[in-house]
């Protein structure tokens, strides 16, 4: 097992895999993100990223045999809070090969390297006051979001501020965050639309705006979405994002 210290070594081993690049949380000066460590063994690469999108994540790629050997050793280094995440078939193989790993349901990693068409609805980056106003949107309609206004994790929030009808004052009706972005992979999360404003194309406009900004800055943009959220997946696909199934596993007993 070889530990990789430099971002360019991780990028080479990742071979264009956006999920591994994101996990590295690379800095533009060539360093890995704070607390991030990475290792390779044969065809396998593992990137341990602490407190990334509300989890200690161990992003993994490679052949099943090489990855199993690597993950066993890495978990002894980083501890059981780290959750192996990667291509669904690979993580399912790891759960079979490593006692003590329990699978989570599949989800999708979606990414694009193409700037979407400009939104037909005006979207803007929100100032600090408006971001605070968006807090109530999440309190009421998306309390389980990993990205929340005011939690300090997001680089910036974009949104559409408008009135629901002629009798109500303007408020944030749809928002999305540039959050946990890194060199080589921008990331979007915290997508939330007021239920009374759905069907007006607001979510697609906000997401298209954020994804475009991320692709311009980082070369690609990505997000994660639960497989059952078909309406959101349809929006992201219309914006040119491609999906692939990932899975995660949790250490429920000492791996051996």
Same fold, 2-108+246-251 and 124-239: yes
For residue 208, the model assigns a pLDDT of 97
Q: How far apart are CA 21 and CA 99, in angstroms?
A: 28
At 48-72, the pLDDT tens digits run: 999 999 999 999 999 999 999 999 9
- What's the whole-number mean pLDDT along residues 5-16? 95
pLDDT band for position 107 (cuts 50, 70, 90): very high
- Is the pLDDT at 152 greater than 80, yes or no? no
- Is the pLDDT at 84 greater than 60, yes or no? yes
CATH 3.40.630.30 is held by the domain 124-239: yes
Report the largest interatomic distance among the alpha carbons of the chain, rounded to a whole angstrom. Answer: 64
At 165-214, the pLDDT tens digits run: 878 889 899 999 999 999 999 999 999 999 999 999 999 999 999 999 99
Q: How far apart are CA 25 and CA 186, in angstroms?
A: 10
pLDDT band for position 164 (cuts 50, 70, 90): confident
pTM: predicted TM-score of the whole model, two decimal places: 0.93
What are the residue ranges spanned by the domains of the chain? 2-108+246-251, 124-239
Token pair, residue 218, equals 């980082």
Judged by DSSP in three states, 45 sits in strand
How far CA 156 is from CA of 102, 125, 177, 247, in Å, comes to 35, 7, 6, 28
Q: How far apart are CA 9 and CA 218, in angstroms?
A: 18
18: left (phi over 0), alpha (psi -120 to 50) or beta: alpha
**2-108+246-251 CATH choice from 3.40.630, 3.90.1420, 1.10.3470, 1.10.357:** 3.40.630
Token pair, residue 183, equals 């060199």
């Amino acid at each position: 097992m070889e530990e990789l210290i430099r971002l360019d070594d991780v990028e080479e081993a990742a071979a264009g895999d956006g999920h591994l690049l994101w996990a590295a949380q690379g800095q533009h000066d060539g360093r890995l993100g704070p607390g991030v460590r990475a290792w390779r063994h044969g065809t396998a690469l593992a990137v341990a990223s602490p407190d990334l999108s509300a989890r200690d994540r161990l992003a993994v790629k490679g052949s099943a045999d090489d990855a199993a050997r690597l993950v066993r050793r890495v978990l002894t280094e980083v501890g059981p809070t780290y959750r192996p995440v990667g291509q669904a078939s690979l993580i399912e193989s790891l759960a079979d090969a490593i006692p003590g790993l329990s699978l989570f349901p599949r989800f999708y990693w979606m990414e694009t390297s193409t700037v979407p068409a400009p939104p037909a609805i005006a979207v803007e980056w929100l100032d600090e006051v408006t971001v605070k106003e968006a807090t109530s949107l999440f309190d009421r309609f998306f309390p389980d979001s990993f990205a929340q206004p005011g939690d300090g994790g997001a680089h910036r929030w974009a949104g559409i501020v408008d009135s629901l009808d002629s009798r109500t004052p303007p408020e944030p009706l749809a928002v999305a965050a540039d959050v946990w972005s890194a060199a080589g992979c921008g990331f979007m999360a915290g997508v939330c639309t007021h239920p009374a404003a759905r069907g007006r194309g607001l979510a697609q406009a906000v997401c298209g705006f954020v994804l475009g900004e991320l692709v311009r800055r980082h070369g690609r943009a990505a997000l994660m979405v639960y497989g059952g959220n078909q309406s959101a997946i349809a929006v992201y696909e219309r914006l040119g994002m491609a999906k692939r199934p990932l899975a995660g596993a949790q250490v429920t007993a000492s791996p051996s």
